[in-house]
Chains A and B, each alone.
Chain A
């Protein structure tokens, strides 16, 4: 079982490092092979919205940089952890940049799913999603937006399961470990790979 951890910490933010370590050790202890990417340390250009990844080089972004490595790992994982400071309820710009460039993992063609239109899957299987949002001040509105964003991403990326873990920077290491362990168990159980 392959897990990918995408760390969306912005430059100068060292607070997400221990959380990345905690989720990695939890997964490794459960038998997962974990690949980690500190997104601020790799070069990823922004998505130009050209859709070449759909209609020119299907499945692959035409811009060649480290986004290709991230998208490949994402498509081949069983679980993707999206670790990010909660940014107005959404992801940080570092994480968003990588996700924007990964839309080639779905097809351009439309389909109906639970009463809404979404893009068809490109692959036969997709990773489960674990969103870990780290808050500065436990803002409940932003926490709710973050949880819904992860749930919406799970629909659009055809994730077989998803879970959300909301942490605060002033949580103790023990509190963080407990919350992460609970979320990992939740998402892997739902996916049937616990």
Chain B
């Protein structure tokens, strides 16, 4: 059964156009569109004015595929995503027509495996909220993408794009994320040692721009000895 309408929810708190989650979500949206799936991109509600995310709920009522793209914060999903999922699960109705749910998560460590707990959480959400779990993709070294479009990054993200191409093709046909795409997506963008070296260099450069190079190791909450 082919999918007609999809919703891609970007789960990053960063401003539009600056997050890895958005870069991944926008790429997947374009591929789903190529397969004839009318795809809406929404962002997690940053306004905090309404617990019920009405635009998301309304879009999901018409969708037969829901894809979440999100960063991993401290081994799980960020607050804004967690709150959104709580709201969705609360409003889940038993009689709702079946909707597939897939997730694409990324973390700032080299190992994609550090996304595992976050993926398990979204899988558990799918069951609670009565979505049909269609599988998940995990990406390490999210800092390499850093909000840039995957095409801009050329060969660095070729395997990521291929994995998303395969995933879009399967999801569009109402099938699950293929195992080959899961493996391909999780491969390193650059060697881990290069990533950590560049990452550490990047922190130092940002600190220097902010004039706090000598304070990077500050311990503002350290207790005095003997306290």
Contacts and interface: CB of A to CB of B under 8 A. Distances in A.
Interface string B205-222: 011001010011111111
Q: Majority SS of interface residues in chain A?
A: mixed
A118 B13 contact: no
A185 to B, nearest CB: 25
Contact of A108 (B125, B128, B203): B203
Contacts, number: 147
B135 interface: no
A116 interface: yes
A110 B199 contact: yes
B110 A55 contact: no
A97 B79 contact: yes
A141 B124 contact: yes
B79 A46 contact: yes
Contacts of A47: 13, 73, 78-79
A163 to B, nearest CB: 17
A89 B120 contact: yes
B79 A93 contact: yes
Interface size class of A (residues with CB under 8 A): 35 or more
A46 B221 CA distance: 21
A49 B13 contact: yes
Interface of A: 10, 46-51, 54-60, 71-72, 75-76, 87-93, 96-97, 99-100, 103, 105, 107-110, 116-118, 122-124, 139, 141-142, 145, 148-149, 152-153, 156
12 contacts: A46-B79, A49-B12, A55-B212, A56-B210, A58-B207, A87-B86, A88-B89, A90-B82, A100-B74, A122-B217, A141-B124, A145-B120
